[in-house]
Structure 1
Amino acid sequence: MLSRFEDVGLINDGAFAEAWVESRHHSRGLARRALVRELRTKGVESALIDEAVEQLDPEQEEQTARELVARRLRSTRGLDRDKRLRRLAGMLARKGYGEGMALRVVRQALAEEGEDTEGLDEPF
Structure 2
Amino acid sequence: MARRDARDNTARDKPSGGSETQAKDVCLRLLSDRARSRSELEQSLAKKGYTADIAESALDRLAQVGLIDDAAFAEQWVHSRHTFSGKGRQALALELRRKGVGKEEAAGALEQISADDERERAAELVRKKLRTLSVPDDTGERDKTVRKLVGMLARRGYGQGMAFDVVKTALAQIGSATDDLVDE
Q: Which of the five TM-score ranges fits, normalised by the shorter chain? A: over 0.9
1:118 corresponds to which residue? 179
1:100 to 146, 152, 161: 161
Query: Could you tell me the TM-score, scaled by structure 2's length?
Result: 0.65
1:55-113: CA deviation from partner (whole Å, max 9, x where unpaired): 11211111000000000012220542101100111100001111111011000111111
**Number of equivalences:** 123
1:31-57: CA deviation from partner (whole Å, max 9, x where unpaired): 100000001001111111001101112
1:2 aligns with 2:59: yes
| Residues in 2 aligned to 1:81 and 1:118: alpha-carbon distance in whole angstroms | 12
1:70 aligns with 2:127: yes
| Residues in 2 aligned to 1:106 and 1:39: alpha-carbon distance in whole angstroms | 27
The secondary structure found in structure 2 opposite 1:76 is: coil
1:36 to 77, 80, 93: 93
8 Å CA contact retained: 2:75, 2:110 = yes
Q: Structure 1 residues 51, 78: CA separation in 2 closer, same or farther (over 3 Å shift)?
A: closer
| Residues in 2 aligned to 1:113 and 1:93: alpha-carbon distance in whole angstroms | 22
| Residues in 1 aligned to 2:135 and 2:169: alpha-carbon distance in whole angstroms | 18
TM-superposed CA distance for 1:5, in Å, is: 0.7
| Residues in 2 aligned to 1:67 and 1:44: alpha-carbon distance in whole angstroms | 28
| Residues in 2 aligned to 1:78 and 1:112: alpha-carbon distance in whole angstroms | 12
Q: Which letter does structure 2 place at the counterpart of 1:15? A: A
| Residues in 2 aligned to 1:55 and 1:75: alpha-carbon distance in whole angstroms | 31
Q: Which letter does structure 2 place at the counterpart of 1:102? A: A
| Residues in 2 aligned to 1:105 and 1:122: alpha-carbon distance in whole angstroms | 11
Structure 1 runs not aligned, ≥5 long: none
Flag the structure with more relative contact order, 1 or 2, with Cα contacts below 8 A and sequence separation at least 6: 1
Query: Could you tell me the TM-score, scaled by structure 1's length?
Result: 0.95
1:12 aligns with 2:69: yes
The percent of aligned pairs where both chains have the same amino acid is 49
The secondary structure found in structure 1 opposite 2:132 is: helix
- Runs of 4+ aligned structure 1 residues displaced above 2 Å come to none
